[in-house]
Structure 1
């Protein structure tokens, strides 16, 4: 599972999206200008969200099938 290329592509995609969403949320929370953003804090929060997303995918990877999702898309219903 953890050697599966699809799993790591999914994990990286989700983590990058989470990083971007967190960064935008922190930047806009204070409704300040671009030059007024505390970039160290914003990047730190986004970095933590990235790490949490990766750990969540790893935890979900034991449940799903060749994906970072907890949902098994290959399961026949």
Structure 2
């Protein structure tokens, strides 16, 4: 958890989670993007990002979650 690889992978996972949450919150609103409360959407995305970081810390994997795990052992 104290390695650069852990934080790189955690940052990657957090970025993806925040982006996915924003797309779900803002992109799927049936009233249209301009009618969406962007503040609430960003707050929800930030909350999802914090939960992702907490999950990564709870698992304690040295390499962290993300695509960079596939390079382990090479």
TM-score relative to the length of structure 1: 0.77
Long gaps (5+) in structure 1: none
What's the Cα RMSD here?
1.9
Alignment pair present for 1:67 and 2:66: no
- Per the TM alignment, residue 41 of structure 1 is displaced from its structure 2 partner at its CA by 0.5
Larger radius of gyration: 1
- Per the TM alignment, residue 18 of structure 1 is displaced from its structure 2 partner at its CA by 0.2
- The structure whose RCO (Cα within 8 Å, separation 6+) is larger is 2
TM-score relative to the length of structure 2: 0.80
Q: How many residues align?
A: 69
Q: Aligned equivalents of 1:49 and 1:31: distance in 2?
A: 22
The structure carrying a bigger helix percent of its residues is 2
